[in-house]
Structure 1
Amino acid sequence: MEIRFKLYSRDYCHLCHDLLAALAAMQDECGLAFAIEVIDVDADSTDPALLEMYDEKVPVLAAVTEDGERELCHYFLDRQAVLAHLQSLHQAHVGHTGLRS
């Protein structure tokens, strides 16, 4: 089961750095491996829509699934939203493999 997140961020944003650090700490606490892709909304000039979408909202943490992306939180880490996402991934994985927890 792959766990992927995208963090829409900018280089000089202390809230962005704080959210990333909190997510890394949560990863250590859970003992799970997360893939975290950090996307600098200012640096990605190939997609101006990123800046328009996230300019005033960064940091934005999105869960990445087969169905696309779903925003989990912005400004600060919402631990409950991340835990709910992890639980839904676990349930989908258990249901898919036919295993019971």
Structure 2
Amino acid sequence: MSETTRLTLVSRHYCHLCQEMELALSALLADFPFDLEVLDIDADPLLEASYDELVPVLLHDGKELCHYFLDVAKVRDYLSEIR
């Protein structure tokens, strides 16, 4: 995995699950350095059409890694694979 690995979190400002996933992702940074891009679903009609009821959604290069809650084991395995 290069230093430029970017994960995308599709989120809402008022969503407590979104805030919890963003916080949980910070715990993975020690083992797997990545950039986290947080996108506001309500500011993008295309994102809202795709993920409206699923937020928070964690993506890498358009691939959905998990939604609602951070699947730590799955994301760790995925980040290990792309190293």
The reply to whether TM is greater than 0.5 is yes
Within-5 A mapping of 1:8-19: 8-19=10-21
Q: Partner of 2:59 in structure 1?
A: 62
Q: Number of aligned pairs?
A: 81
Say whether residues 1:4 and 2:3 are aligned partners: no
Q: TM-score, normalised to structure 2's length?
A: 0.89
User: 3-state SS of the aligned residue for 1:11?
Assistant: coil
Structure number with the bigger relative contact order (C-alpha 8 A, sep ≥ 6) is 2
Return 5+ residue gaps in structure 1 as ranges. 91-101
CA deviations 1:58-81 (Å, max 9, x no partner) are: 0000112xxxx2100000000111
Shift, 1:57, TM fit: 0.4
Write out the 4+ residue segments of structure 1 that deviate beyond 3 Å after TM superposition.
Answer: none
Identity across aligned pairs (percent)? 47
Q: Computing the radius of gyration over CA atoms, which structure comes out larger, 1 or 2?
A: 1
Q: CA deviation at 1:41?
A: 0.6
Distance 1:56 1:75 in 2: 9
Distance 1:9 1:36 in 2: 12
Alignment TM-score, normalising by the size of structure 1: 0.74
Q: Secondary structure at the match of 1:36?
A: strand
